Amino acid sequence: MNIVRLGCTRGVLKNPLSTQWNNIIRATAMTAVNWNALNAVRTATATSSRKNFAILQSSIPVINSIRNYTCKSIGGSMEEHCVVPDVIAKAPKGTASVEYAGGISVQAGNVLTPTQVKDQPCVKWEADASKLYTLCMTDPDAPSRKDPKFREWHHWLVGNIPGSDVAKGEVLSAYVGSGPPPDTGLHRYIFLIFEQKCKLNFDEKRLPNNSGDGRGGFKIAKFAEKYDLGDPVAGNFYQAEYDDYVPILYKQLGA
């Protein structure tokens, strides 16, 4: 009986139909494997998509916060810190980008140090390339916010700037970094940009960066009125108090 069974088995294996049946079984098995692999890929993709969507959802508040900061912070912050009305009657709508060396940026009243702002920054704003602008940086808290008897001490004044290319403007007062006296707390340093109606002939004495003469008692509002500049179109500001760089700056100014 075993011999008969063995013979039948060999006959089946040699039969062409048996070969086709084996191929069908193999193909079915491979299809099952491929289908499982496809399901695994679909599952992984769906999981990844859900994770990415969750990350995106968690990022939305941050994106909205940045959007709100850039849209409304300048006017609100200038009012909150009394830049309006201490310096100007109306806050600008535009935000000026002010970047110092080392990636230090001015962000609507953030606190920086005199060391960080000792060198002239890069200032940009949304400008019309066909128009001229005036840029001012001024400190209304001289010698202190509690006793601003020298208000304002201006640190930088440039006129006839084509577009936002400050380097091509006419320097009236060279840049001088922050130098708040010791024990006078935080000072506000305000950047304001005005759009000129035409090219101006400024009669102010040109001030270098190695002297403090002629900088105190300045009023940017009166300067703007004198040259019919209107309200500022862009601005920004930071705060700073005394640090170890200030004596070095005083020596530079001959104090």
Write out the DSSP string of 106-142.
--SSEE--TTTTSSPPEEE----TTSEEEEEEEES-S
Mean pLDDT of 49-59: 46
Q: Domain count of the chain? A: 1
pLDDT digits (tens, 9 = 90+) for 209-244: 999 999 999 999 999 999 999 999 999 999 999 999
148 within some domain: yes
The more confidently predicted of residues 3 and 203 is 203
Inside any domain, residue 145 = yes
Residue range 165-185: mean pLDDT, rounded = 98
Beta bridge partners of 173: 157, 207
Q: Whole domain around residue 162: which residue ranges?
A: 74-253
Q: Look at residue 14 and tell me whether its pLDDT is greater than 70.
A: no
Q: What is the CATH number of the domain that holds 109?
A: 3.90.280.10
Here the tokens at position 15 are 């039969």
Exposure of 170 by Cβ count < 10 A (0-12 exposed, 13-18 middle, 19+ buried)?
A: middle
Contact by Cβ (8 Å): 193, 133: yes
In a domain, 210, yes or no: yes
Residue 69 domain-assigned (yes or no): no
| Structure confidence at residue 42 as a pLDDT band (50, 70, 90) | low
Is residue 200 a contact partner of residue 131, using CB atoms and an 8 Å limit? no
> Is residue 48 a part of any domain in this protein?
no
